[in-house]
Structure 1
Amino acid sequence: MGPRERRFQRQFDALERMVPVLRGPMSTLRRDSWFPIRFPLALILIAGGFFAFMPVLGVWMLPLGLLLLAVDLPILRGPISVLMIRCRRRGRALLRRWRNR
């Protein structure tokens, strides 16, 4: 396992710690045997992210779909893990700023 793969796995673990409700479903979907379900689900979530104007569908679907797609496409693991790190840092900074008000 290379450094990109380890960083990607650490980001998934951090996401599971931040949102404990995701721990079960994400660990299940990350298994190799779930590829036939994971890949089409990732594509559906990405497509649904483009329909953000609809009530249930939204922008939240796009990053989740990219995360699931990165499990199967190693070329996406580096950029997606960097994006996850940046989003977590920005979220923490916004939370700190909000709490200090």
Structure 2
Amino acid sequence: MKRNRPDLAKRRFERQFSYFSARLPVMERLRKPGSTIARISIGILLIIGGLLAILPVLNVWMIPLGLLILAIDLPLLQGPVTRLIIFGRRKIGNLRRLWFRRGA
């Protein structure tokens, strides 16, 4: 039986969300149904903070996290955000392997 494309995209999104929520427990609290306004405002603030990456505390890591939080309420973003996060995680993993191989 063929799987629906939306089901596959939803499962990929859920896997990426669980990856981040394992590292940031507050993400699970944001998933509650009544916190839509909080999710949208936190997502937008994270994206804006990520764009201000020249400051020491704020950095580029905030952009995908903000998009991931916004994608909870905007299903249209789930596919592109999931692909962006998977792409970024693969690139970071490749860079880490190269870095540690070079240092050995």
TM-score (norm: length of structure 2): 0.79
- How far 1:56 moved relative to its partner? 3.3
- How far 1:74 moved relative to its partner? 0.3
CA distance in 2, matches of 1:93, 1:53: 25
* 1:15 maps to 2:16: no
Percent sequence identity over matched residues?
44
2:64/2:85 contact within 8 Å kept? no
CA distance in 2, matches of 1:27, 1:72: 14
Q: Which amino acid in 1 is paired with 2:84?
A: L
- How far 1:31 moved relative to its partner? 2.1
Unaligned runs of 5+ in 2: 1-5
CA distance in 1, matches of 2:55, 2:96: 28
Q: Which amino acid in 1 is paired with 2:73?
A: D
TM-score (norm: length of structure 1): 0.81
- How far 1:52 moved relative to its partner? 2.4
Q: Which residue of 2 aligns with 1:30?
A: 31
Q: Which amino acid in 1 is paired with 2:64?
A: P
The 5 Å alignment of 1:42-57 reads 42-57=43-58
Q: Which amino acid in 2 is paired with 1:39?
A: I
State the aligned residue count.
97
Query: 4, 9, 19: which one pairs with 1:4?
Result: 9
Structure 1, 86-95 or 50-59: larger mean CA deviation? 50-59
- RMSD, aligned CA: 1.8
2:20/2:27 contact within 8 Å kept? no
Q: Which amino acid in 1 is paired with 2:11?
A: R
Unaligned runs of 5+ in 1: none
Structure 1, 55-64 or 38-47: larger mean CA deviation? 55-64
